[in-house]
Amino acid sequence: MGKKGVIIFMLALILMLQIVSAEPLGIFTQGSTISLHQICNNCTSVNVTSITFPNGTLRKLNSSMSRDGEDYNLSFSDTQSIGDYRYNTCGDLDGIRTCENIPFTINRTGEELTGARSNLYILLTVMVFILFIALLWFNIAIPYRNKANAKGDVIRIVRAKYLKIALIPITHAIFNWFLNLLLSISNNLITGLDIYFGMISFVFNLSLLIVYPVWVFCFVWFFFNLIRDYKWNEKIKKFGRAVR
C-alpha cells in the first residue's frame, strides 16, 4: 500500500470513528437516578457503550438509548460514588459511526460550588467560627455567682448571670450554623474524604437534637434565678445580706 493509500485509510478511519468531548451533562445528587442524554439529528440509534467511574473503573454497557425525536436518553442509577463520571455514546450520524464522551459530576447536594461561591463559603465559615469562639469566651468570662461575704451570705446580686444564660442558646445556634456551613464545604471541596463528612454530619445531627432541650433548660434556669435573686434582693434590702 502506497503513501496515498495509507492517508486515505487513516482519513476513512477517522471519519468512521469520531470521538468528541461534549459539554458536561451537569451535576447531580449522590444516589439519584439520572438520565444520560444525547442529541443526534440524523441518527437511527445511539448506544451508551461504556461509563467511567470517579475511581477510574470502566464499565462496558452497550445499552441502547430510548429515542424521542432527536433526543436519546438512558436511565442510570449507580451514582453512589462521588466525583466525576464520563459516559461514551456512539451513533450512526449520517451513516457514519460517531462517538462522544460526555462528563457529569455527582456530589451530595447536586449543586455546583464555584470558585466565587466556595471562597464566600470559606470566608463566611471562618467568620462564623470566630463569632462562635468569641461568644463562647465571653460567656465563660461572664460571672454567674452572686457576691458573698466571708460567711457565704449573699450581699449583692450579680445580674450579668442573665446575659450568661441567654447567650447559651444563642452560642449553640451559632455553633449549628458553623457546622451547617462546614457540611456545605465538605460536600464540594473535600468530597474524597467521606470520613470527615460523616463526622461533621453526626455532630451536626446530634447538636440539632438538643436544640429544644437547651432552650427549655435555659428558659427554666433563667426564671429560677430571677425568682431566687428577687427573694434574696428583698432580704438584702432589709438585713444587708441574704442567707443561702
Identify the domain boundary among 107, 133, 162: 107
d(C-alpha 34, C-alpha 75), whole Å: 6
101 shares its domain with 208: no
87 shares its domain with 133: no
Domain membership of residue 159 (yes or no) is yes
pLDDT value, residue 94 = 83
Domain membership of residue 244 (yes or no) is no
133 shares its domain with 62: no
3-state secondary structure of 90: strand
Domain membership of residue 207 (yes or no) is yes
**Tens of pLDDT, residue by residue, the chain (244 residues):** 555 555 554 544 444 434 444 678 888 988 899 999 998 888 888 999 999 998 889 999 889 999 988 899 999 999 988 888 999 999 888 888 888 899 998 887 777 666 676 788 789 999 999 999 999 999 999 999 989 888 888 889 999 999 999 999 999 999 999 998 888 777 666 555 556 677 888 899 999 999 999 999 999 999 999 999 999 999 888 888 888 7
pLDDT value, residue 15 = 42
pLDDT value, residue 41 = 84
Identify the domain boundary among 85, 107, 129: 107
What CATH number has the domain bearing residue 49?
2.60.40.10
Domain count, the chain: 2
Domain membership of residue 235 (yes or no) is yes
d(C-alpha 105, C-alpha 63), whole Å: 21
d(C-alpha 128, C-alpha 194), whole Å: 23
DSSP state of 58: E
Domain membership of residue 175 (yes or no) is yes
Quote the domain boundaries for residue 193: 115-239
178 shares its domain with 89: no
pTM for the model stands at: 0.62
154 shares its domain with 226: yes
Any residues with CB less than 8 A from the CB of 142 and at least 6 apart, and which?
160, 161, 163, 164, 167
Residue ranges of E strands in the chain = 18-21, 27-29, 34-39, 46-52, 58-64, 66-68, 71-76, 83-93, 96-107, 147-148, 154-156
pLDDT value, residue 19 = 40
97 shares its domain with 145: no
Look at the block and give the residue holding cell 466571708: 150
3-state secondary structure of 62: strand
10 shares its domain with 120: no
Domain membership of residue 126 (yes or no) is yes
Write the CA distances from 2 to 7, 11, 15, integer angstroms: 9, 14, 20
98 shares its domain with 126: no
pLDDT value, residue 4 = 56
Identify the domain boundary among 56, 81, 107: 107
134 shares its domain with 57: no
CB 22 within 8 A of CB 101: yes
Instruction: Give the distance from CA 187 to its chain's centroid.
Output: 4
7 shares its domain with 45: yes
132 shares its domain with 217: yes
- Alpha helices, DSSP H only, in 53-193? 115-141, 160-188
